[in-house]
Chain A
Amino acid sequence: MSKNINVALIGNPNTGKSSVFNHLTGLNQKTGNYPGITVEKKQGVCRLPRGVKARILDLPGTYSLNASSVDENVVVELLLNKKDKDFPDVAVVVSDVENLKRNLLLFTQIKDLNIPTILVINMSDRMRRKGIRIDTHKMELLLHAKVVLVSARKNVGIDVLKEHISAYKTISTKACLDIKRIDQEYFGSLERTFPNQSLYKLWLVITQDVNFAKIERKRMEAEDANHLRSSSFLKRLQQKETIKRYQFINSVLKDCYVKDSSKATDLRGRLDQILTHKFWGFVIFFVVLLSIFQALYDWSSVPMDFIDTSFVQLSDWAKTSIPSWMAPNLIAEGIIPGLGGIVIFVPQIAMLFLFISILEETGYMSRVVFIMDRVMRRFGLSGKSVIPLISGTACAIPAIMATRNIENWKERLVTILVTPFTTCSARLPVYLILISLIIPDERILGANLQGLVLMVFYMLGFAMALLAAFVLHKIMPQNQTSYFVIEMPNYRIPLLKNVLLTIVEKTKSFVLEAGKVILAISILLWALASNGPGETFKNAPREVAKSVAVSDAKYDQKLNAYKLEHSYLGIIGKGIEPAIRPLGYDWKIGIAIVSSFAAREVFVGTLATIYNVGEDKDETIKKRMAAETYADGTPVFTLASGLSLMVFYAFAMQCMSTLAIVRKETNSWRWPAIQLVVMTAVAYLGALVTFQYFSL
């Protein structure tokens, strides 16, 4: 039996590396995380000619082996450590035909590690339009590597690539650059101290801050610390190294690469002129956003309603049809609604990623980052934070997942932490019912007052997110210099296959990862709501039967309300009443707040249960809420308490799905915990001030 070949797919961002990966592996791919960090690890299997199998590892996009982000560290770490189980037998470096010179820099670095290397020149379908001709045969001789012209878009060259991979043993491992030429003295002495070792590898160990290099550096230090010089000395050598590499690349390209610029069309220039325009750039961006949100609301409501009703029906069915030994209540009231709470987000997540991946694939996203960077920087964010913040108005979960392309960890973390302040769609049902209850249906200056209040709350969310970002920016230490260098890629028509695979992958990762936590908390809340201490809870049917006949239609509703009041959840609600009285809430609202920790929209449903009216009858709940009074006859829902409640929902972190995804993205419970505590505190104070102010 032949051994599987380990293939590492390496390349600069925007070279179509993932298209090549998708072509090689099809749906035979899985995504995980590298241990301890949040970098995605994409792996797949490719069948090669003659029954050989290749394990393809799609490494994060990197510009060079001088790593400057967590993603890039992964690449260096793997390529230095020959003992790693993923260490490649052959490296496939993917390059873009139009940026070949720059892409070859990384190629020469990989070659210098003496790994057999295949150069893929992707997007070869654009060559004619751009007036480019390449003599691949000559290039192979000059680079001592295999060179394949590939068009992932037109599915050209993939088979040749597979042939080369299976014949990797015949590829030369000769280096491109004699590294001693950078600095004879330094590298000569390095070679004398550590003979028989690859000089370039030693050089990377000295200069790179990845774990493997740190360990190796300690070993070197023990032998001879002479070579670990100041960082500015090393950086100067790195610059010299880069110059030498470009000299080599230029000498290669001179002989085998011709570009006739007169044939090139300047679509990029013309599109950039409009899309990055001081005025029109913003107008277009605004229109694009507006269309996306219209689509998100309009297109997702049908599947979401469908999911909602299906799970309610499933739950009803389970309650009556599942035999009692299988705990039908746990299944019908805990597990099924819990699963429903996960699946309900799928349409919005899938759709948001549809749009985001289209924006990214076309290259438009980089232009948005470009025009928004200055504005966002004032708040300690980056141009790249715009999309997550705005996506947050649909749902914070996909929005937080969309922060992954912010390289600077601090900017990314701040974006993750403040995104839940934006008004997500789950707050909408809460706002709508409270507004209709406490704000008169009047017009001022021709505008609907209720609509205005709703808009104010959306703006409040954005303002709070920016304010929080500003504060975090000031108090968090800057642990790495924030350099902002972004590539402005060519405009391209998105590949359907890439878009679809992105949607599948993101949705799957949400359902599997966040889903576990959501399910667990749903079951916990169910258990708290359907169990209670002592005799009172157990005797609920008898107690209720005292006031309402068992045959009465209202009996079930009364029983549910009674049970909830005496359940653990009810006791918690009563327990927190002293704390929430200053905000204008009674214990019933307290229960609704506690139970809507799981998901905000549960608020309305819980109140319906407590006030024992049937669900799905907004009018009835509204009337019932309006009639609710304290013992002394004053109404519970007033302008003051209603606004206070809305402010609470605007700021509080009441969404376990968000906490779960933050945990996943930051790989620690620390940040979701901070988020929960701080946002709850802000919500409490905000609600307190609001209630006290409006009660005056």
Chain B
Amino acid sequence: MHLTLADLEVGEAATIDSFDIEQLPMKLIEMGCLPGNEVRLLHLAPNKDPLYLNISGSHLAIRRETATCIHIRKEDE
């Protein structure tokens, strides 16, 4: 089973693996959400939504529904 960004724990980092480009806004891709880049979950809002991330140096927040479209691989795998 593929891990997605939504599976990350707070403080955890991973590498972006792939995503369905149809599901993501261009803006997110342009802010550095590209395969191979590092992503770290910094904080979660109440109800674990939205997610506050550091993607390749950019600090941004996205909703959980978007996060589930981004597949990741963890460093230790």
- What residues make up the interface of A, taking CB atoms closer than 8 Å to B? 63-64, 66, 68, 99, 101-102, 105, 232, 235-236, 238-239, 242-243, 246, 268-269, 272-273, 276, 278, 282, 366, 369-371, 373-375, 383, 481, 483-490
CB of B42 closer than 8 Å to a CB of A: yes
Evaluate contact between A102 and B50: CB separation under 8 angstroms.
no
User: Whole-angstrom distance between the alpha carbons of A366 and B50 in the complex?
Assistant: 12
Evaluate contact between B21 and A276: CB separation under 8 angstroms.
no
B61 contact from A268, A269, A486, Cβ within 8 A: A486
Closest to A106 in B: B30
Closest to B62 in A: A485
Q: Would you give 6 A-B contacts (Cβ < 8 Å), ordered by A?
A: A63-B30, A64-B27, A101-B56, A242-B34, A373-B61, A483-B66
CB of B3 closer than 8 Å to a CB of A: no
B34 contact from A66, A99, A246, A273, Cβ within 8 A: A246
Evaluate contact between B43 and A232: CB separation under 8 angstroms.
no
Quote the shortest CB–CB distance from A176 to chain B (angstroms).
15
Evaluate contact between A239 and B60: CB separation under 8 angstroms.
no
User: Whole-angstrom distance between the alpha carbons of A236 and B34 in the complex?
Assistant: 12
Quote the shortest CB–CB distance from A387 to chain B (angstroms).
16
A490: B residues at CB distance < 8 A: 59
B59 contact from A68, A236, A489, Cβ within 8 A: A489
Evaluate contact between B21 and A235: CB separation under 8 angstroms.
yes
CB contact under 8 A between A232 and B30, given known A101-B57, A373-B45, A487-B59: no
Evaluate contact between A102 and B32: CB separation under 8 angstroms.
yes
Evaluate contact between B43 and A276: CB separation under 8 angstroms.
yes
- CB contacts under 8 Å to A, within B45-68, are 45-47, 49-50, 52, 56-63, 66
The main secondary structure of chain B at its interface with chain A is mixed
Evaluate contact between A487 and B58: CB separation under 8 angstroms.
yes
Evaluate contact between B22 and A232: CB separation under 8 angstroms.
yes
User: Whole-angstrom distance between the alpha carbons of A369 and B52 in the complex?
Assistant: 11
Evaluate contact between B28 and A485: CB separation under 8 angstroms.
yes
The main secondary structure of chain A at its interface with chain B is helix
A272: B residues at CB distance < 8 A: 42-43, 52
A66: B residues at CB distance < 8 A: 26-27, 30
A489: B residues at CB distance < 8 A: 59
User: Whole-angstrom distance between the alpha carbons of A484 and B61 in the complex?
Assistant: 8
Evaluate contact between A488 and B60: CB separation under 8 angstroms.
yes
Closest to A278 in B: B46
B60: A residues at CB distance < 8 A: 485-488
B43: A residues at CB distance < 8 A: 272-273, 276, 370
A64 contact from B22, B26, B45, Cβ within 8 A: B26
A64: B residues at CB distance < 8 A: 26-27, 30
User: Whole-angstrom distance between the alpha carbons of A272 and B60 in the complex?
Assistant: 12
Evaluate contact between A99 and B30: CB separation under 8 angstroms.
no
Evaluate contact between B27 and A68: CB separation under 8 angstroms.
yes
A373: B residues at CB distance < 8 A: 45, 49-50, 61, 63
A276 contact from B22, B26, B28, B45, Cβ within 8 A: B45
User: Whole-angstrom distance between the alpha carbons of A63 and B33 in the complex?
Assistant: 14
User: Whole-angstrom distance between the alpha carbons of A268 and B58 in the complex?
Assistant: 13
Evaluate contact between A374 and B28: CB separation under 8 angstroms.
no
- CB contacts under 8 Å to A, within B8-50, are 21-22, 25-32, 34, 42-43, 45-47, 49-50
B31 contact from A102, A282, A369, A383, Cβ within 8 A: A102
B58 contact from A102, A369, A371, A383, Cβ within 8 A: A102
A485: B residues at CB distance < 8 A: 25, 27-28, 31, 60-62, 66
Evaluate contact between B21 and A242: CB separation under 8 angstroms.
no
CB contact under 8 A between A105 and B30, given known A374-B45, A485-B25: yes
Quote the shortest CB–CB distance from A131 to chain B (angstroms).
14
Evaluate contact between B26 and A68: CB separation under 8 angstroms.
yes
CB contact under 8 A between A68 and B52, given known A99-B57, A102-B57, A370-B45: no
Given contacts A235-B22, A484-B62, A485-B66, 16 further A-B pairs with CB under 8 A are A64-B27, A66-B30, A101-B57, A235-B21, A238-B29, A246-B34, A276-B52, A278-B46, A282-B46, A373-B50, A373-B63, A484-B66, A485-B27, A486-B60, A487-B31, A487-B59
Quote the shortest CB–CB distance from B11 to chain A (angstroms).
10
Evaluate contact between B46 and A374: CB separation under 8 angstroms.
yes
User: Whole-angstrom distance between the alpha carbons of A507 and B21 in the complex?
Assistant: 43
Evaluate contact between A232 and B61: CB separation under 8 angstroms.
no
CB contact under 8 A between A243 and B52, given known A64-B26, A68-B27, A236-B21: no
B47: A residues at CB distance < 8 A: 374
A273: B residues at CB distance < 8 A: 43
Closest to B33 in A: A485
Listed residue (B27, B30, B58, B59) with the most chain A CB atoms within 10 angstroms of its CB: B30
Evaluate contact between A374 and B58: CB separation under 8 angstroms.
no
CB contact under 8 A between A371 and B45, given known A236-B21, A487-B58: yes
